Amino acid sequence: MTPQVHNRAARYLRLGEAYISAARGVLAAPDFEQVRLPFYSLLCHGMELALKSVAARKGWDDERLMWLGHDLDWAWRVTLSDAGFEAPGARAVGGVIHQLSRPHHASLPLCGAPVLAPPGPTARARRGRGLSDPRP
């Protein structure tokens, strides 16, 4: 691995760790319902960057990593296949990532386009599905 590849992977991982650390800080709020969206936004973006760090370690450049967008499912599949990453409990981890992927992907703009949620209770139900208070 070249120093440039190592530095790129380390940069993505450090940034992902910073987002996850910020998500932990948000959990200190007394009312989780008030911080649900910021918590999951920070957590998912941290996961996205951490997954991209694995692909970066295998030589993916910044442009190719950008094509992954904010799709956690795709980043997870890339991590498992192209990057050759193997983890105990990968199926369970993949299930969690799958639950978080659609809300995360839908909450972030693509190339600066505004994010518009469909109106009505259906959108509210979709946003809330699987995103409960993670605190014990």
Q: What does the pLDDT look like over 17-61, one tens digit per residue?
A: 999 999 999 988 999 888 888 888 899 899 999 989 988 988 888
Q: What are phi and psi of 80, to 5 degrees?
A: -75, -40
Within-domain flag for 76: yes
Within-domain flag for 136: no
Within-domain flag for 44: yes
Within-domain flag for 134: no
User: For residue 83, what pLDDT band results from cuts at 50, 70 and 90?
Assistant: low
> Does residue 126 surpass a pLDDT of 80?
no
Q: How many independent structural domains does the chain possess? A: 1
> Does residue 66 surpass a pLDDT of 60?
yes
Within-domain flag for 58: yes
Cα dihedral: 114, 60, 48, 96 (round 10) = 120
> Does residue 111 surpass a pLDDT of 50?
no
Cβ partners under 8 Å of residue 43, min gap 6: 19, 20, 23, 100
Within-domain flag for 41: yes
Q: How far apart are CA 8 and CA 54, in angstroms?
A: 10
Contact 103, 126 (CB under 8 A): yes
